[in-house]
Structure 1
């Protein structure tokens, strides 16, 4: 239905009323044909593989650092009281704001893109760890301590599983920030990737190419959410008796 509305808007405004030109809004048919052509020439395949490699590397690094910072905030009250607001403020900064710093520090290299991905994700993950552990029902901790759980066993068997719903929300949010960082970095730095193709479309005023890349990014996001985060979320809900 959305595609039909899109086609109707295109036909009405571009071909019938003629108040827009084709560069303002492309037709879904032209976008679909362009996606097919990009796949046939393998341009889109190489771009997706290149972008996903950077995205996975940066996201995994942000998970490690984000969890480390989050546990430090829980473990040491001083860190949370003095740096909690700063971390919250840094999380609100757009990924694009970090690109000039990354270029000055790392130059026009792969490290620049990965840095932007990491710096855009770690703070949301850190806050999710902090809030997730804080919001655990105290009765779980009391019961576990009564039965002798302490140290890493308490964290591994009680605290982390109890905090998983909030942690998953933070991981999903971090994933979305990672995507934004990836595209921002690739548009300014990379010679390959989806962001670079998006930048080419902008420079050439090729709206069909811009929309085609947007459709690919949206599709990849939906696929990953469905088969990765959706599967994890379903397992957690099943474990907690919510299904």
Structure 2
């Protein structure tokens, strides 16, 4: 019904009243027809697989490095005092700002895109690990130490589980930054992927193709959020008795 209403509004404003430019605002039906056509030619399937592979690699790199740096900041006060403000400042940089830097380092290849993905999400993960562990309720720590927990057991049984809600929130934020880095990198490096199809639509002034790719990106983001991060958050809430 929503698509039908949007199509009706489109027809009225482009063909009857003629206040909309058909080259600027796409027809909803034409967008969905184009999506089906892209799937039929398998262009969209290859693009999604290529993009998701780069996204997962870059994101996993950022999670590993971000977690290590976050733990180092907790354990070494010197690192936190001297680098926390810098990390916070770097997080505010848009992913697109890293693209010229990565091209100079790696050239026009896949490593550039993976670097932009990783560097775009790594800082939010560092800050999430740092703030998550810092904000663990001190009562939990005192109770655990009273019962003899220390070192690895203190971390694995108390600190990490208590910090997980904040860490998961940081991982979700890092995932969104990774998506932005992926599309920015693919558009500028012209590698096979969703960003390339988006860029081709822009070059051809094909607004339907641009909107079609945007809808695909939105759909993939919602699916991953629901079936990956959503399930993790649900299991954490169940463990803490919040469900």
Report the TM-score, using the length of structure 2 for normalisation: 0.98
Other structure's SS at 1:218 match: helix
Preserved contact between residue 95 and residue 180 of structure 1 (Cα < 8 Å): yes
Preserved contact between residue 110 and residue 190 of structure 1 (Cα < 8 Å): no
* Inter-partner Cα distance in structure 1 for 2:191 and 2:168: 33
Paired residues for 1:113-124 under 5 Å? 113-124=113-124
Shift of the alpha carbon at 1:146? Answer: 1.1
Q: How many residues align?
A: 243
* Inter-partner Cα distance in structure 2 for 1:102 and 1:2: 42
Q: Residues 167-186 of structure 1: CA distance to partner in whole angstroms, max 9, x if unpaired?
A: 01000000000000000000
Residue of structure 2 equivalent to 1:23: 23
Residue of structure 2 equivalent to 1:127: 127
* Inter-partner Cα distance in structure 2 for 1:67 and 1:14: 52
* Inter-partner Cα distance in structure 1 for 2:51 and 2:184: 12
Which 5+ residue runs of structure 2 have no aligned equivalent? Answer: none
Shift of the alpha carbon at 1:226? Answer: 0.6
Other structure's SS at 1:47 match: helix
* Inter-partner Cα distance in structure 2 for 1:165 and 1:23: 45
Residue of structure 1 equivalent to 2:186: 186
What is the alpha-carbon root mean square deviation over aligned residues? 1.0
Residue of structure 2 equivalent to 1:90: 90
Which 5+ residue runs of structure 1 have no aligned equivalent? Answer: none
Other structure's SS at 1:26 match: coil
* Inter-partner Cα distance in structure 2 for 1:15 and 1:111: 47
* Inter-partner Cα distance in structure 2 for 1:5 and 1:183: 30
Q: Residues 58-94 of structure 1: CA distance to partner in whole angstroms, max 9, x if unpaired?
A: 0000000110111111111111111111100000000
* Inter-partner Cα distance in structure 2 for 1:175 and 1:200: 25
Residue of structure 2 equivalent to 1:143: 143
Q: Residues 145-187 of structure 1: CA distance to partner in whole angstroms, max 9, x if unpaired?
A: 1111111111111111000000010000000000000000000
Shift of the alpha carbon at 1:12? Answer: 2.5
* Inter-partner Cα distance in structure 1 for 2:9 and 2:153: 60
Other structure's SS at 1:25 match: coil
* Inter-partner Cα distance in structure 1 for 2:104 and 2:2: 43
* Inter-partner Cα distance in structure 2 for 1:207 and 1:13: 17
Paired residues for 1:47-66 under 5 Å? 47-66=47-66
Shift of the alpha carbon at 1:2? Answer: 4.6
Shift of the alpha carbon at 1:20? Answer: 2.1
Which shows bigger deviation, 230-239 or 75-84? 75-84
Residue of structure 1 equivalent to 2:78: 78
Preserved contact between residue 144 and residue 158 of structure 1 (Cα < 8 Å): yes
Shift of the alpha carbon at 1:11? Answer: 1.8
Shift of the alpha carbon at 1:190? Answer: 3.1
Preserved contact between residue 72 and residue 79 of structure 1 (Cα < 8 Å): yes
